[in-house]
Amino acid sequence: MNQHGEIPSLRGTVRLGGQAKSRFNAAPCYDVDFYPYTLPGVDPVFAVCGDHYTLICRCVLEKDSTIEVLRWFEHDAAQASTQPYNYNSLVWSRAENGDPLVCVTGDISQIRILNVRSGELVQSINDLAVSPLDPALLASASADYSIRIWSLLPAHKKQPLAAICYGQGHKDQVLTLAYHRQGRYLLSAGMDTRVNLWTVPESVTKHAGTDKPATIHYPHFSTTEVHTDFIDRVQWYNDLILSHAAREDHILLWRIDNFSSDRLETPPPPIPTSTAVNSKTPVTAPANSTSSTRSAWGGRFQRLLKFELPHCSIFYLRFSLFHEQGRHPMLVAGNEKSRAFFWDLHRLEQMHLGEEAAQADNTNALSLSLPRHIRETSTSTASSAMSTGSGTATKVKRNKRKPLHRDRGLGDPFQPIKAHKCIDIPKFQAFPFYKFAWSRDGQWCVGVGNPSLINVFHRWKDGVPPLTTEESDDALMQENEPRAG
């Protein structure tokens, strides 16, 4: 197997506070994120948050050690408070002088900006996302159904709010955010089972530091038809979308019809016809006003793949995608039974190409789109995927073929795809994985959960492998693209 297709193995599990009973080993770890600006060859650093603490760690390849704790932040007010403090979201940023900043938030309705180098609290402002183009732009999801975009620049410290997405967006708490790699589009989803795509104005930074933040009333895409329960994770895969919801036992890969981030102009956002009366805002009315999906690009959406993820009855189980230039895209997720699941998306693509060759004369074969490598074609509905072709009674003789492994190949968006590798965490009672994160080079993967467990996965014991000729060509094709958010 190509080295790039190697799937990580469990290197070690660390329980905060050790085995002795303490506040730390009883509290869950809710979020984890690697520092995205690490230079090649430098040991990757990641942050973990939960309860009232934020932990900064480094991955190490030592015989008796897996991680090194670099810094431990605690919220001082939490120790004196009778109310529980639960940090549940964090993201990295970078100060103007290059210092690493970690932004954390949770039940306290406040964003805390921590300088990892100095150990100081820099600033105080549910889920967080930093723009891949400008680390000073921070997006936050809120329990008041809104999304806010903040500036972290010191010049805007007194009035950091740059924009607010509010109005015809969400009807319940927002749980997850994701910036597109180009920084122009922002996904949000939450308890109302709705996925929204917002367009971030180019002038957003001009509003920071003023008392007039930009107001974005309408998303450019909105749907409640992809999931039926709380949506706890969305993530971009180029122009495709990965998402997960509670009690659905799968992760979906899907796309918005006609959407392309390469287009220079974005059409006006669609709004419900009933609210368009006397509006001075240019809008496009949806073709079907009774639909639960509205899109500025016309059409609806298409389900492409379903990844099997059993035992996910609770929400806030968040997957992670490794997607860097010239490397195999790798998806990881965990369930509430302390099991981690890994999918190599490049391997799935190769399986699909093999199936196409085996079914060259089969008119029912489905051509599926994945980023970079696979053609941009797919069926628009489940019925078209099941079409029998012509309506004549002519019998066509077909050669007998061996059954295809539907758990590994592509083609049916309603057929769950089993993981290429599953890893059970030993020695601990079954626990939920709340979040995974990948190092920038893909060598390390960390999954955190309850109670206070940091699970470290590793691959490529001889170091990150060099790019092959084919993968180098792929990297050259992407060299002008910003990295995945």
Q: Tell me: pLDDT of 19 over 90.
A: no
> Using alpha carbons only, how large is the chain's radius of gyration in Å?
23
386 is a domain residue? no
Report the relative pairing of strands 301-308 and 416-417 from DSSP bridges: parallel
Among 126-130, 209-213, 445-449, the range of highest mean pLDDT: 445-449
Report the candidate in 269, 90, 248, 267 with the shortest Cα–Cα distance to residue 169.
269
* Per-residue pLDDT, 75: 79
Does 228 score more than 90 pLDDT? Answer: yes
Model confidence at 384: pLDDT above 70: no
Torsion of CA 432, 438, 439, 444, to 10 degrees: 60
- Among 14-23, 66-75, 199-208, the least confident range: 14-23
- Written as six digits, the tokens of 10 are 């469990």
Q: Is 385 among the domain residues?
A: no
What are the tens digits of pLDDT across the range 307-337?
999 999 988 899 999 999 889 999 999 999 9
65 and 120 assigned to the same domain: yes
Model confidence band, residue 352 (pLDDT cutoffs 50, 70, 90): low
In the chain, % helix, strand, coil (3-state, to 5) comes to 10, 35, 55
Q: Please list, in sequence order, all residues whose beta carbon lies within 8 angstroms of the beta carbon of residue 10, skipping any fewer than 6 positions away.
A: 340, 423, 425, 455, 456, 457
- The three-state secondary structure class of 62 is strand
- Of 53-57, 115-119, 351-355, 457-461, the range with the lowest mean pLDDT is 351-355
The edge-to-edge listing of strands for the beta sheet with 161-165 is 128-130, 137-141, 147-151, 161-165, 214-216
Q: Do both 226 and 354 map to the same domain?
A: no
Residues 291 and 254 reside in one and the same domain:
yes
CATH number of 299's domain? 2.130.10.10
| 333 and 295 in a common domain | no
Q: Is the pLDDT score of 60 beyond 50?
A: yes
pLDDT for 385: 31
The Cα-based distances of 150 to 54, 106, 128, 167, 484 in angstroms read 21, 16, 11, 18, 20
DSSP 312-342: --SS--B-EEE--TTS--EEEEE-TTSEEEE
Residues of the chain with pLDDT > 90, as a percent, come to: 55
Under the banding of pLDDT at 50, 70 and 90, the label for residue 342 is very high
Mean of the pLDDT values across residues 418-439?
A: 95
Instruction: Please tell me whether residues 310 and 323 are part of one structural domain.
Output: no
Say yes or no: 341 and 463 in one domain. yes
For 272-286, how does the pLDDT look when each residue is reduced to its tens digit (9 = 90+)?
665 444 555 565 554
Percentage with pLDDT > 70 across the chain: 75
Give the confidence band of 95 by pLDDT, cuts at 50, 70, 90: very high
Question: Which domain covers residue 185, as residue numbers?
Answer: 133-260+283-315
Separation between Cα atoms, residue 454 and residue 433, nearest integer Å:
10
Q: Is 180:197 a contact under the CB 8 Å cutoff? A: no
Question: In this structure, is residue 382 part of a structural domain?
Answer: no
482, burial (CB in 10 Å: exposed 0-12, middle 13-18, buried 19+): middle
| Contact indicator for 306, 252 with CB cutoff of 8 Å | yes
- Higher local confidence (pLDDT), 451 or 190: 190
Mean pLDDT of the chain: 81
> Per-residue confidence at 199, pLDDT binned at 50, 70, 90?
very high
Query: What is the pLDDT averaged over residues 79-106?
Result: 84
Residues 85 and 143 in one domain: no
At residue 393, the pLDDT reads 39
pTM of the predicted model as reported, rounded to 2 decimal places:
0.83
At 151 the pLDDT is: 92
User: Helices (H) and strands (E) in the chain — how many of each?
Assistant: 6, 31
Count of structural domains, the chain: 2
Kindly state whether residues 484 and 335 are assigned to the same domain. Answer: yes
Q: Using CA atoms, how far apart are residues 221 and 198, in angstroms rounded to an integer? A: 7
97 plus 156 within the same structural domain:
no
Residue recorded with tokens 């409640």: 224
- Assess whether pLDDT exceeds 90 at residue 76: no
What pLDDT is recorded for position 220? 96
Does 323 share its domain with 435?
Answer: yes
C-alpha torsion 418→347→46→134, nearest 10: -120
Report the greatest alpha carbon distance in the chain: 81
Whether 402 is covered by a domain: the verdict is no
- 323 and 433: one domain? yes
**Interval 221-242 mean pLDDT:** 97
pLDDT above 70 for 28: yes
Task: Select, from the ranges 101-115, 350-364, 403-417, the one with the highest average predicted confidence (pLDDT).
Answer: 101-115
pLDDT exceeds cutoff 90 at 480: no
Q: Do the domain assignments include residue 256?
A: yes
Length of the chain: 485
Which stretches does DSSP call E strand in 143-297? 147-151, 161-165, 174-179, 185-190, 195-199, 214-216, 221-223, 231-237, 240-245, 250-256, 293-295
Same domain, 168 and 69: no
Is position 387 within any domain? no
Cβ-contact 436, 445 below 8 angstroms: yes
Higher model confidence: residue 458 or residue 210?
A: 458
The reply to whether 394 falls in a domain is: no
CA neighbor of 29 nearest in space, from 115, 104, 120, 111: 104
**Is the four-CA dihedral 261, 248, 405, 424 of positive or negative sign?**
positive
User: Residue holding tokens 């308890």?
Assistant: 191
Q: Tell me if 276 is assigned to some domain.
A: no
Mean local confidence (pLDDT), 239-263: 97
Sign of CA dihedral 288, 291, 297, 301: negative
The helix or strand, by DSSP H or E, that contains position 344, with its residue range, turns out to be strand 339-344
pLDDT band, residue 387 (cuts 50/70/90): very low
Cα–Cα distance, 356 to 410 (Å, whole number): 10
Q: Using alpha carbons only, give the angle 15, 17, 458 rounded to the nearest 5 degrees.
A: 25
Please list, in sequence order, all residues whose beta carbon lies within 8 angstroms of the beta carbon of residue 469, skipping any fewer than 6 positions away.
none
| DSSP string over 161-176 | EEEEE-SSS-SS-EEE
